[in-house]
């Protein structure tokens, strides 16, 4: 891992709010959208980063920026209930999730 990468990851560790992340990556944003959806934007961003890691490995700076931009844009013309990022909204709409580990445990127990 290069010194530049280490510094970038250290900088990320210091960011706390959605505004911090958006400002860090110099992504223009409407404060009223962020004010209402900050936790949902950050959760969607986390989900996008996790999916990227599973698909393509550790993201680089441009990936981080693109994924945050997409997470923010998801809420420009939508809302938290429609996007169903948080588990409470998923449950309210009847979406249930089951962890892979619980399926493995159930399969192993039935053998």
pLDDT, mean of residues 66-88: 85
Burial of 37 (0-12, 13-18, 19+ CB in 10 A): buried
Q: Who contacts 52 (Cβ-Cβ below 8 Å, separation ≥6)? A: 59, 63, 67
Residues making up the chain, counted from first to last:
111
Give residue 102's pLDDT: 58
Residue 92 clears pLDDT 50, i.e. is over it: no
Give residue 88's pLDDT: 46
Q: Can you give the residue ranges of every domain in the chain?
A: 3-80
pLDDT, mean of residues 88-96: 48
Residue 28 clears pLDDT 70, i.e. is over it: yes
Lowest mean pLDDT of 14-18, 73-77, 104-108, name the range.
104-108
Q: Could you write out the DSSP letters of every residue in 41-85?
A: HHHHHHHHHHHHHHHHSS--HHHHHHHHHHHHHTTTS--HHHHT-
* Model pTM score: 0.74
Output DSSP code: residue 95: -
């Amino acid at each position: 891992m290069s010194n530049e990468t280490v510094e970038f990851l250290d900088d990320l560790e210091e960011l706390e709010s959605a505004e911090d992340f958006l400002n860090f990556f110099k992504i223009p944003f409407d404060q009223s959208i962020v004010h209402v959806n900050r936790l949902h934007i950050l959760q969607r961003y986390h989900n996008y980063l996790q999916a990227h890691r599973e698909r393509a490995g550790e993201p680089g700076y441009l990936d981080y920026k693109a994924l945050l931009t997409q997470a923010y844009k998801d809420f420009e013309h939508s809302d938290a209930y429609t996007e169903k990022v948080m588990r409470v909204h998923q449950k309210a709409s009847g979406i249930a999730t089951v962890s892979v580990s619980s399926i493995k445990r159930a399969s192993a127990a039935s053998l």
